[in-house]
A and B are shown apart, each in its own frame.
Chain A
Amino acid sequence: MYCPVCESTPLDVCPTEACRQWRDLIRTMLTEGKSEEEIKQYFVLQYGARVLDEPPNRLLTYLVPAVAILLGALMLLRGFQMWMKPSITEADEEPKGKPDQDPYIAKLEEELKKQK
Protein backbone atom coordinates (compact mmCIF):
# COMPACT_ATOMS: atom_id res chain seq x y z
CA MET A 1 0.00 0.00 0.00
CA TYR A 2 1.00 3.61 -0.55
CA CYS A 3 0.91 6.83 1.45
CA PRO A 4 -2.32 8.78 0.93
CA VAL A 5 -0.58 12.14 1.16
CA CYS A 6 2.86 11.79 -0.47
CA GLU A 7 2.85 10.48 -4.01
CA SER A 8 4.51 7.12 -4.73
CA THR A 9 5.81 6.61 -1.18
CA PRO A 10 5.23 3.14 0.24
CA LEU A 11 3.23 3.14 3.46
CA ASP A 12 5.84 1.19 5.44
CA VAL A 13 8.63 3.75 4.91
CA CYS A 14 6.66 7.01 4.82
CA PRO A 15 7.50 9.22 7.83
CA THR A 16 4.28 11.28 7.80
CA GLU A 17 1.83 11.30 10.70
CA ALA A 18 -0.94 10.08 8.37
CA CYS A 19 1.07 6.95 7.53
CA ARG A 20 1.97 6.35 11.16
CA GLN A 21 -1.77 6.38 11.92
CA TRP A 22 -2.48 3.99 9.08
CA ARG A 23 0.23 1.58 10.23
CA ASP A 24 -1.28 1.64 13.74
CA LEU A 25 -4.72 0.99 12.29
CA ILE A 26 -3.44 -1.96 10.23
CA ARG A 27 -1.74 -3.36 13.34
CA THR A 28 -5.00 -3.03 15.29
CA MET A 29 -7.00 -4.71 12.53
CA LEU A 30 -4.49 -7.58 12.35
CA THR A 31 -4.72 -8.14 16.10
CA GLU A 32 -8.51 -8.21 15.70
CA GLY A 33 -8.01 -11.14 13.33
CA LYS A 34 -8.81 -9.34 10.07
CA SER A 35 -7.30 -10.89 6.96
CA GLU A 36 -5.05 -9.01 4.51
CA GLU A 37 -7.89 -8.93 1.98
CA GLU A 38 -10.35 -7.52 4.52
CA ILE A 39 -7.89 -4.79 5.51
CA LYS A 40 -7.28 -3.87 1.88
CA GLN A 41 -11.02 -3.74 1.21
CA TYR A 42 -11.49 -1.43 4.19
CA PHE A 43 -8.76 0.92 2.99
CA VAL A 44 -10.12 0.99 -0.58
CA LEU A 45 -13.59 1.81 0.73
CA GLN A 46 -12.27 4.54 3.01
CA TYR A 47 -9.56 6.10 0.87
CA GLY A 48 -9.99 4.86 -2.68
CA ALA A 49 -8.19 2.31 -4.86
CA ARG A 50 -5.20 4.61 -5.41
CA VAL A 51 -3.75 3.54 -2.03
CA LEU A 52 -3.14 0.01 -3.34
CA ASP A 53 0.20 -0.88 -4.89
CA GLU A 54 -1.63 -2.90 -7.55
CA PRO A 55 -4.87 -1.89 -9.27
CA PRO A 56 -7.96 -3.79 -8.15
CA ASN A 57 -8.49 -7.07 -9.95
CA ARG A 58 -11.12 -5.91 -12.43
CA LEU A 59 -11.60 -7.35 -15.91
CA LEU A 60 -11.13 -3.98 -17.62
CA THR A 61 -7.83 -3.31 -15.83
CA TYR A 62 -6.21 -6.18 -17.67
CA LEU A 63 -8.43 -6.39 -20.73
CA VAL A 64 -7.74 -2.89 -22.07
CA PRO A 65 -3.90 -3.16 -22.06
CA ALA A 66 -4.09 -6.71 -23.47
CA VAL A 67 -6.34 -5.61 -26.34
CA ALA A 68 -4.14 -2.54 -26.98
CA ILE A 69 -0.98 -4.69 -27.12
CA LEU A 70 -2.65 -7.26 -29.38
CA LEU A 71 -3.94 -4.53 -31.68
CA GLY A 72 -0.51 -2.89 -31.82
CA ALA A 73 1.20 -6.22 -32.58
CA LEU A 74 -1.28 -6.97 -35.37
CA MET A 75 -0.77 -3.52 -36.87
CA LEU A 76 3.01 -3.93 -36.75
CA LEU A 77 2.82 -7.38 -38.32
CA ARG A 78 0.55 -6.15 -41.08
CA GLY A 79 2.79 -3.14 -41.64
CA PHE A 80 5.91 -5.29 -41.94
CA GLN A 81 4.14 -7.63 -44.35
CA MET A 82 3.19 -4.70 -46.55
CA TRP A 83 6.70 -3.26 -46.48
CA MET A 84 8.30 -6.59 -47.32
CA LYS A 85 6.06 -7.57 -50.26
CA PRO A 86 7.18 -5.02 -52.91
CA SER A 87 10.89 -5.61 -52.32
CA ILE A 88 10.46 -9.38 -52.80
CA THR A 89 8.56 -8.79 -56.07
CA GLU A 90 11.26 -6.44 -57.34
CA ALA A 91 13.98 -8.93 -56.50
CA ASP A 92 12.10 -11.66 -58.37
CA GLU A 93 11.58 -9.48 -61.43
CA GLU A 94 15.12 -8.15 -61.69
CA PRO A 95 16.78 -11.00 -63.70
CA LYS A 96 14.27 -10.57 -66.54
CA GLY A 97 15.62 -7.14 -67.58
CA LYS A 98 19.07 -5.67 -67.48
CA PRO A 99 20.38 -6.42 -64.01
CA ASP A 100 21.70 -2.92 -63.26
CA GLN A 101 18.82 -0.95 -64.77
CA ASP A 102 16.07 0.67 -62.75
CA PRO A 103 12.57 -0.06 -64.20
CA TYR A 104 11.67 3.65 -64.01
CA ILE A 105 14.75 4.65 -66.03
CA ALA A 106 13.84 1.96 -68.55
CA LYS A 107 10.34 3.42 -68.89
CA LEU A 108 11.80 6.90 -69.29
CA GLU A 109 14.21 5.76 -71.98
CA GLU A 110 11.40 4.01 -73.78
CA GLU A 111 9.34 7.24 -73.75
CA LEU A 112 12.29 9.23 -75.10
CA LYS A 113 12.80 6.74 -77.95
CA LYS A 114 9.16 7.06 -78.92
CA GLN A 115 9.47 10.86 -79.05
CA LYS A 116 12.44 10.63 -81.44
Chain B
Amino acid sequence: MTETSIPAPRRGVPLWAQIIIWVFLAGLLVIVALGLRRAQQGTVQPGQVIEDFTLPLYSSYEFEGKNEVHLKDLRGKVVVINFWASWCKPCEQEAADLQQAWTEYEPTGEVVFLGVDYVDTEPEARVYLKKFGITYANGPDLATRISQYFRTKGVPETYFVDKDGVLNYVQIGPFKSVEEIRAQIDPLLK
Protein backbone atom coordinates (compact mmCIF):
# COMPACT_ATOMS: atom_id res chain seq x y z
CA MET B 1 0.00 0.00 0.00
CA THR B 2 1.40 3.33 -0.98
CA GLU B 3 1.32 6.15 1.54
CA THR B 4 -0.57 9.18 0.43
CA SER B 5 -1.06 12.15 2.68
CA ILE B 6 -4.60 13.25 3.24
CA PRO B 7 -4.60 16.99 3.92
CA ALA B 8 -5.66 17.64 7.48
CA PRO B 9 -8.60 19.95 7.89
CA ARG B 10 -7.50 23.47 8.84
CA ARG B 11 -10.34 24.22 11.17
CA GLY B 12 -9.76 25.52 14.70
CA VAL B 13 -8.18 28.28 16.74
CA PRO B 14 -4.46 28.87 16.09
CA LEU B 15 -2.02 27.61 18.69
CA TRP B 16 -0.97 31.04 19.91
CA ALA B 17 -4.59 31.99 20.55
CA GLN B 18 -5.25 28.72 22.36
CA ILE B 19 -2.24 29.33 24.62
CA ILE B 20 -3.42 32.85 25.42
CA ILE B 21 -6.96 31.64 26.17
CA TRP B 22 -5.76 28.85 28.45
CA VAL B 23 -3.28 31.09 30.26
CA PHE B 24 -6.03 33.67 30.73
CA LEU B 25 -8.46 31.05 32.07
CA ALA B 26 -5.81 29.56 34.37
CA GLY B 27 -5.01 33.06 35.69
CA LEU B 28 -8.70 33.68 36.31
CA LEU B 29 -9.00 30.39 38.21
CA VAL B 30 -5.94 31.22 40.34
CA ILE B 31 -7.44 34.62 41.24
CA VAL B 32 -10.79 33.01 42.21
CA ALA B 33 -9.01 30.28 44.21
CA LEU B 34 -6.88 32.82 46.08
CA GLY B 35 -9.98 34.89 46.87
CA LEU B 36 -11.84 31.83 48.19
CA ARG B 37 -8.82 30.75 50.22
CA ARG B 38 -8.52 34.19 51.75
CA ALA B 39 -12.25 34.27 52.56
CA GLN B 40 -12.04 30.88 54.30
CA GLN B 41 -8.79 31.61 56.10
CA GLY B 42 -10.34 33.65 58.90
CA THR B 43 -8.19 35.96 60.97
CA VAL B 44 -4.40 35.71 61.15
CA GLN B 45 -3.52 32.63 63.14
CA PRO B 46 -1.53 32.27 66.38
CA GLY B 47 2.10 31.40 65.70
CA GLN B 48 2.38 33.92 62.89
CA VAL B 49 4.88 36.78 63.15
CA ILE B 50 2.90 39.99 62.88
CA GLU B 51 4.21 42.37 60.24
CA ASP B 52 4.98 45.95 61.14
CA PHE B 53 2.19 48.50 60.85
CA THR B 54 1.78 52.15 61.73
CA LEU B 55 -1.14 53.34 63.80
CA PRO B 56 -1.73 57.11 63.76
CA LEU B 57 -3.01 58.22 67.14
CA TYR B 58 -5.74 60.59 68.23
CA SER B 59 -4.51 63.63 70.13
CA SER B 60 -4.64 62.97 73.90
CA TYR B 61 -4.21 59.27 73.13
CA GLU B 62 -0.56 59.36 72.02
CA PHE B 63 2.03 56.73 72.88
CA GLU B 64 5.06 58.00 74.81
CA GLY B 65 4.39 61.49 73.46
CA LYS B 66 4.36 60.38 69.79
CA ASN B 67 1.36 60.79 67.52
CA GLU B 68 1.87 57.43 65.83
CA VAL B 69 3.11 54.04 66.88
CA HIS B 70 5.02 51.41 64.88
CA LEU B 71 4.59 47.79 65.90
CA LYS B 72 8.26 47.03 65.25
CA ASP B 73 9.23 49.56 67.93
CA LEU B 74 7.33 47.50 70.49
CA ARG B 75 9.47 44.36 70.23
CA GLY B 76 10.31 43.11 73.71
CA LYS B 77 6.86 44.04 74.97
CA VAL B 78 3.57 42.22 74.99
CA VAL B 79 1.18 44.05 72.69
CA VAL B 80 -2.59 43.89 73.04
CA ILE B 81 -4.29 45.11 69.87
CA ASN B 82 -8.00 45.78 70.30
CA PHE B 83 -10.23 46.54 67.30
CA TRP B 84 -13.31 48.53 68.28
CA ALA B 85 -15.76 51.18 67.07
CA SER B 86 -18.06 53.64 68.78
CA TRP B 87 -21.08 52.23 66.91
CA CYS B 88 -20.30 48.72 68.15
CA LYS B 89 -22.50 47.76 71.11
CA PRO B 90 -20.56 44.57 72.09
CA CYS B 91 -17.40 46.72 72.30
CA GLU B 92 -18.98 48.58 75.21
CA GLN B 93 -19.19 45.33 77.20
CA GLU B 94 -15.40 45.01 77.35
CA ALA B 95 -14.30 48.66 77.28
CA ALA B 96 -14.11 49.06 81.08
CA ASP B 97 -12.34 45.69 81.50
CA LEU B 98 -9.70 46.62 78.94
CA GLN B 99 -9.07 49.94 80.67
CA GLN B 100 -8.82 48.21 84.05
CA ALA B 101 -6.32 45.71 82.64
CA TRP B 102 -4.31 48.58 81.15
CA THR B 103 -4.10 50.41 84.50
CA GLU B 104 -2.83 47.18 86.07
CA TYR B 105 -0.14 46.45 83.45
CA GLU B 106 0.94 49.98 82.51
CA PRO B 107 3.32 50.41 85.52
CA THR B 108 5.22 47.23 84.56
CA GLY B 109 6.28 48.79 81.24
CA GLU B 110 6.14 45.32 79.70
CA VAL B 111 2.70 45.55 78.13
CA VAL B 112 1.30 47.98 75.57
CA PHE B 113 -2.37 48.32 74.71
CA LEU B 114 -3.33 49.68 71.28
CA GLY B 115 -6.90 50.58 70.41
CA VAL B 116 -7.56 50.42 66.67
CA ASP B 117 -10.71 52.33 65.83
CA TYR B 118 -12.40 50.59 62.89
CA VAL B 119 -14.42 52.63 60.31
CA ASP B 120 -15.45 55.21 62.84
CA THR B 121 -15.87 58.96 62.99
CA GLU B 122 -13.55 60.84 65.30
CA PRO B 123 -16.11 62.89 67.28
CA GLU B 124 -18.10 59.74 68.19
CA ALA B 125 -14.88 57.84 68.89
CA ARG B 126 -13.79 60.53 71.35
CA VAL B 127 -17.17 60.43 73.10
CA TYR B 128 -16.79 56.65 73.47
CA LEU B 129 -13.20 56.90 74.79
CA LYS B 130 -14.22 59.54 77.30
CA LYS B 131 -17.32 57.63 78.36
CA PHE B 132 -15.27 54.56 79.32
CA GLY B 133 -12.31 56.53 80.67
CA ILE B 134 -9.89 54.91 78.23
CA THR B 135 -6.35 56.23 78.48
CA TYR B 136 -4.24 53.83 76.39
CA ALA B 137 -3.03 54.67 72.87
CA ASN B 138 -5.86 54.83 70.36
CA GLY B 139 -6.16 55.79 66.73
CA PRO B 140 -8.07 55.25 63.50
CA ASP B 141 -7.51 52.30 61.18
CA LEU B 142 -6.80 54.50 58.16
CA ALA B 143 -8.18 53.02 54.93
CA THR B 144 -8.78 49.81 57.00
CA ARG B 145 -5.19 48.74 56.28
CA ILE B 146 -4.57 47.20 59.71
CA SER B 147 -7.88 45.33 59.91
CA GLN B 148 -7.32 44.04 56.37
CA TYR B 149 -3.92 42.71 57.37
CA PHE B 150 -5.41 40.95 60.43
CA ARG B 151 -8.39 39.85 58.31
CA THR B 152 -10.79 40.85 61.07
CA LYS B 153 -14.34 39.62 60.73
CA GLY B 154 -15.85 42.39 62.82
CA VAL B 155 -15.50 44.25 66.09
CA PRO B 156 -14.55 43.75 68.82
CA GLU B 157 -11.54 41.54 68.19
CA THR B 158 -8.37 41.47 70.27
CA TYR B 159 -4.94 40.15 69.28
CA PHE B 160 -2.21 39.30 71.80
CA VAL B 161 1.29 39.60 70.39
CA ASP B 162 4.21 38.25 72.45
CA LYS B 163 7.58 39.91 73.08
CA ASP B 164 9.02 38.38 69.89
CA GLY B 165 6.25 39.81 67.73
CA VAL B 166 4.46 36.47 67.36
CA LEU B 167 0.68 36.33 67.59
CA ASN B 168 -0.26 34.25 70.62
CA TYR B 169 -4.03 34.46 70.93
CA VAL B 170 -7.05 35.92 69.16
CA GLN B 171 -10.20 36.92 71.02
CA ILE B 172 -13.24 37.16 68.77
CA GLY B 173 -16.02 39.09 70.44
CA PRO B 174 -15.95 40.90 73.77
CA PHE B 175 -14.18 39.80 76.95
CA LYS B 176 -16.58 38.96 79.74
CA SER B 177 -14.22 39.93 82.56
CA VAL B 178 -10.82 41.41 83.28
CA GLU B 179 -9.67 37.95 84.40
CA GLU B 180 -10.05 36.74 80.81
CA ILE B 181 -7.66 39.47 79.68
CA ARG B 182 -5.16 38.70 82.46
CA ALA B 183 -5.31 35.00 81.55
CA GLN B 184 -3.89 35.85 78.12
CA ILE B 185 -1.28 38.42 79.18
CA ASP B 186 0.26 36.78 82.27
CA PRO B 187 1.67 33.68 80.49
CA LEU B 188 3.38 35.98 77.97
CA LEU B 189 5.21 37.86 80.71
CA LYS B 190 6.95 34.76 82.12
Contacts and interface: CB of A to CB of B under 8 A. Distances in A.
Interface of A: 4-5, 16-18, 20-22, 24-25, 44-50, 71, 75, 78-79, 82-83, 85-86, 104, 107, 111, 114-115
Question: What interface size band does chain B fall in?
Answer: 20 to 34
Given A75-B17, A78-B14, A82-B14, A22 B1 contact: no
Contact of A21 (B6, B11, B121, B140): B121
A97 B70 CA distance: 84
B189 to A, nearest CB: 35
A83 B119 contact: no
B1 A115 contact: yes
Contacts, number: 64
B10 A85 contact: yes
Contacts of A24: 121
B120 to A, nearest CB: 7
A20 B121 CA distance: 10
B4 A111 contact: yes
B164 interface: no
Given A46-B140, A82-B11, A25 B87 contact: no
A75 B21 contact: yes
Mostly helix, strand, loop or mixed at chain B's interface? loop
B119 A18 contact: yes
Contacts of A4: 119, 144
B87 to A, nearest CB: 4
Given A21-B124, A22-B121, A78-B14, 5 more contacts: A5-B119, A18-B120, A21-B120, A78-B13, A114-B2
Mostly helix, strand, loop or mixed at chain A's interface? helix
B179 to A, nearest CB: 30
Nearest to A44: B143
B13 A82 contact: yes
Contact of A75 (B1, B20, B145): B20
Nearest to A22: B121
Interface string B121-147: 101100000000000000010111100
